[in-house]
């Protein structure tokens, strides 16, 4: 298993290097001049050239790329011109907010989608099967920003059940002491029940928005995979042997249907990281997505490059976790690797 993980990590290095190259080139191809932006509308041409030289933008692209690689090798991801802070510091402060939102949405989607897909597969053509199809169709059809705005309008503006969609905590609640950056975990560790409840309330609507987005592919894949396994010969043999229906369903059928579901789970997690950008803007969530959007508008290269590189590293880590889960679910996957 350890050799497989090392092999996968080494195999991911060329892909990460390609991400660095593509991100560097695309950010330089964006319209707008960061030197003119930070010099201000009243900045003279001399002031703009001075800012450009200070930022290193007066050098050729190969020179800028070599300097960027040198800084990356020393753990320097650059400084954000909009905040004046190192990009690595900004990402470390904001990434827990994005991960907490992403994981909450993913857990909610898994809790709903997998049982729904299993029930739909065991009762094809029944009302639960039609309900599964309706939910998956709605989840695929509705964009995340529209779902978020609709939920905020209904549950905050009309009904008043949800708190104001203005970040991770309401203005009257103090953030817990930084331990992991996850407000739910930090408030529990500190024994602060009031902050935990406040953070959970703020998390409900954006988490539901993300969950609806990924619920459709998870439920659909679970249903399709379970239908294929339930029609297999070994399932009919297990039923004919007199085994308990629940044992046949979960021990034999669901475990064999789990590998495609795990693959889909890894894919939807990467989708969530991308859709986080829109959800964070709708709910004023202070995550890395909103940070990257603000930097993109200002033509601030370093935060955009740091955001893309951080997402690529998370995706590589996620693939490693999926490979490990493959080996735990099906030992044959470890032997094949």
Identify whether the C-beta of residue 319 lies closer than 8 Å to the C-beta of residue 12: yes
Q: What's the pLDDT score for residue 30?
A: 66
Query: Domain residue spans in the chain?
Result: 94-336
Which residues fall within 8 angstroms of residue 38, CB to CB, at 6 or more apart?
A: 51, 81, 298
Question: Is 94-336 a CATH 3.10.50.40 domain?
Answer: no
Q: What's the pLDDT score for residue 235?
A: 81
Identify whether the C-beta of residue 104 lies closer than 8 Å to the C-beta of residue 298: no
Q: What's the pLDDT score for residue 40?
A: 62
Strand partners, 79: 86
Identify whether the C-beta of residue 329 lies closer than 8 Å to the C-beta of residue 260: no
Q: What's the pLDDT score for residue 33?
A: 64
Q: What's the pLDDT score for residue 158?
A: 85
Q: What's the pLDDT score for residue 223?
A: 85
Strand partners, 86: 79
pTM for this prediction: 0.79
User: Across the 337 residues of the chain, what is the mean pLDDT of every consecutive 10-residue run?
Assistant: 66 75 73 64 69 71 80 79 81 87 88 87 81 76 79 85 82 82 86 86 88 84 84 82 81 80 80 78 84 78 82 79 70 55
């Amino acid at each position: 298993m350890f050799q497989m993980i090392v092999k996968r990590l080494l195999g991911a290095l060329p892909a990460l290097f390609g991400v660095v190259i593509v991100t560097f080139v695309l950010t330089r191809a964006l319209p707008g001049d960061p030197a003119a932006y930070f010099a201000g509308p009243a900045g003279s041409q001399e002031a703009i050239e001075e800012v450009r030289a200070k930022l290193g933008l007066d050098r050729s692209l190969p020179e800028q790329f070599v300097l960027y690689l040198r800084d990356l090798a020393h753990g320097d991801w650059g400084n954000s011109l909009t905040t004046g802070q190192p990009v690595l510091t900004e990402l470390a402060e904001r990434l827990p907010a994005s991960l907490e939102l992403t994981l909450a949405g993913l857990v909610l989607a898994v809790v709903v989608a997998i049982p729904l897909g299993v029930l739909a597969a065991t009762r094809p053509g029944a009302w639960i099967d039609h309900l599964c199809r309706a939910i998956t169709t709605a989840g695929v059809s509705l964009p995340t920003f529209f779902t978020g705005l609709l939920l905020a309008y209904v549950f905050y503006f009309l009904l008043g059940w949800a708190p104001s969609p203005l970040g991770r905590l309401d203005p009257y609640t103090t953030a817990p002491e930084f331990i992991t950056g996850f407000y739910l975990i930090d408030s529990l560790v500190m024994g602060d029940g009031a902050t935990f409840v406040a953070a959970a309330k703020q998390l409900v609507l954006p988490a539901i928005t993300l969950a609806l987005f990924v619920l459709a592919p998870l439920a659909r894949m679970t249903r399709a995979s379970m239908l294929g396994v339930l029609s297999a010969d070994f399932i009919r043999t297990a039923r004919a042997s007199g085994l308990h229906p629940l044992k046949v369903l979960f021990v034999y059928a669901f475990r064999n249907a789990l590998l495609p579901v795990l693959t889909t789970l890894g894919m939807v997690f990467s989708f969530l990281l991308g859709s986080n950008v829109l959800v964070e803007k709708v709910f004023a969530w202070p995550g890395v997505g909103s940070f990257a959007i603000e930097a993109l508008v200002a033509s601030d290269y370093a935060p955009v490059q740091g955001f893309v590189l951080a997402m690529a590293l998370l995706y590589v880590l996620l693939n490693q976790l999926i490979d490990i889960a493959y080996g735990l679910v099906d030992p044959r996957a470890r032997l094949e690797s």
